[in-house]
């Protein structure tokens, strides 16, 4: 029996990087997964890859900043798999620019995906969890929600918001069998990190390397499974020592 046997998991940003690695690990632990992303080409590819392993997987193209599309993700999940047990609220984007040069539209877009989108997915997830009388929500924040970084004002603000949103939701639903926690990754080798800065980011990480998406997936599995059954409103920082400095 896998740690997520027959659980239904919705994974946003599920076709790339941390989300795709988590989808692979979740199906290996017996879960049925719904991959949610803007990127249709990667979505079809990851869905096909998982189905080739005899896993139950469904790609739903959606923009997490669009309320109707998010609601559609959950109604399609329920009509396909019957329920929602786990939501990995993970899709995100970054913008790195001196703050005086960032446009208001760029600020809004970043906060729109990284905070508003996380809220919209949580909002629909909680409704399903309340119907079931149980559920687990894992939000992807960042170590950049704990510490500031020059040129990352919008991202820092949004990810800090996700950490406190996680505390707030953890408390609000703690006595209703719904757990809410957040993953705070350090620098992880995924397409969100431009190739030309990977060496610099490795050198400023105490472990002198980038993390792997598969290493994040193991932390997500811990938070999504009963292994973390007494944990809510909390964060797990997986950053090669960066925030210990
Ligand atoms: N890689 C890192 O170093 C790092 C560090 C800290 C936090 N994170 C966070 O981890 C999460 C996953 O990032 P990743 O590193 O796997 O990057 P990634 O770019 O590989 O994956 C992010 C996915 O989110 C999708 N996405 C973006 N906007 C969307 C939207 N509006 N609606 C639906 N899907 C959307 C993208 O298409 C992409 O597939 C993000 O929230 C990111 O901020 C990453």
Q: Domain limits of the chain? A: 8-235
pLDDT recorded at residue 101? 98
The pairing of strands 178-185 and 135-140 is parallel
Which segments within 62-115 are labelled E, that is strand? 86-89
**Quick one: CATH architecture of 8-235?**
3-Layer(aba) Sandwich (3.40)
Residue nearest to atom 38 of ligand 1 (CA): 13
Residue pair 15/91 in contact by the 8 Å Cβ criterion = no
Q: Is the C-beta atom of 117 inside 6 A of ligand 1?
A: yes
- What is the best residue among 16, 120, 156, 192 to mutate for testing ligand 1's pocket, by most ligand atoms within 8 Å of CB? 192
Q: How far is the CA of 18 from the centre of ligand 1 (A)?
A: 7
Residue pair 54/61 in contact by the 8 Å Cβ criterion = no
- Stated as kind and residue range, the H or E segment containing 109 is helix 104-111
pLDDT recorded at residue 89? 99
Residue 2 phi, psi (nearest 5): -80, 165
Q: How far is the CA of 68 from the centre of ligand 1 (A)?
A: 21
**Local confidence pLDDT in tens for the 245 residues of the chain:** 999 999 999 999 999 999 999 999 999 999 999 999 999 999 999 999 999 999 999 999 999 999 999 999 999 999 999 999 999 999 999 999 999 999 999 999 999 999 999 999 999 999 999 999 999 999 999 999 999 999 999 999 999 999 999 999 999 999 999 999 999 999 999 999 999 999 999 999 999 999 999 999 999 999 999 999 999 999 999 999 999 99
């Amino acid at each position: 029996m896998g740690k997520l046997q027959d659980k239904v998991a919705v994974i946003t940003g599920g076709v790339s990087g941390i989300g795709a690695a988590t989808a692979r690990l979740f199906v290996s632990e017996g879960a049925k997964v719904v991959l949610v992303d803007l990127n249709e080409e990667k979505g079809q590819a990851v869905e096909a890859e998982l189905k080739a392993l005899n896993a139950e997987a469904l790609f739903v193209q959606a923009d997490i900043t669009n309320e109707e599309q998010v609601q559609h993700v959950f109604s399609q999940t329920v009509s396909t798999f019957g329920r929602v047990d786990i939501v990995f609220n993970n899709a995100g984007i970054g913008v790195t620019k001196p703050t005086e040069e960032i446009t208001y539209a760029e600020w809004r877009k970043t906060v729109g995906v990284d905070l508003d989108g996380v809220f919209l997915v949580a909002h629909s997830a909680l409704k399903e969890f309340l119907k079931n009388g149980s559920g687990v929500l894992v939000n992807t924040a960042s170590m950049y929600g704990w510490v500031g970084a020059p040129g990352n004002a919008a991202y820092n603000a949004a990810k800090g918001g996700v950490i406190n949103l996680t505390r707030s939701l953890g408390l609000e639903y703690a006595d209703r069998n719904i757990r809410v926690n957040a993953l705070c990754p350090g620098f992880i080798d995924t397409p969100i990190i431009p190739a030309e800065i990977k060496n610099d980011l490795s050198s400023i990480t105490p472990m002198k390397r980038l993390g792997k998406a598969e290493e994040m997936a193991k932390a997500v599995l811990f938070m999504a499974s009963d292994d973390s059954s007494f944990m809510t409103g909390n964060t797990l920082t997986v950053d090669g020592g960066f925030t210990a400095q």
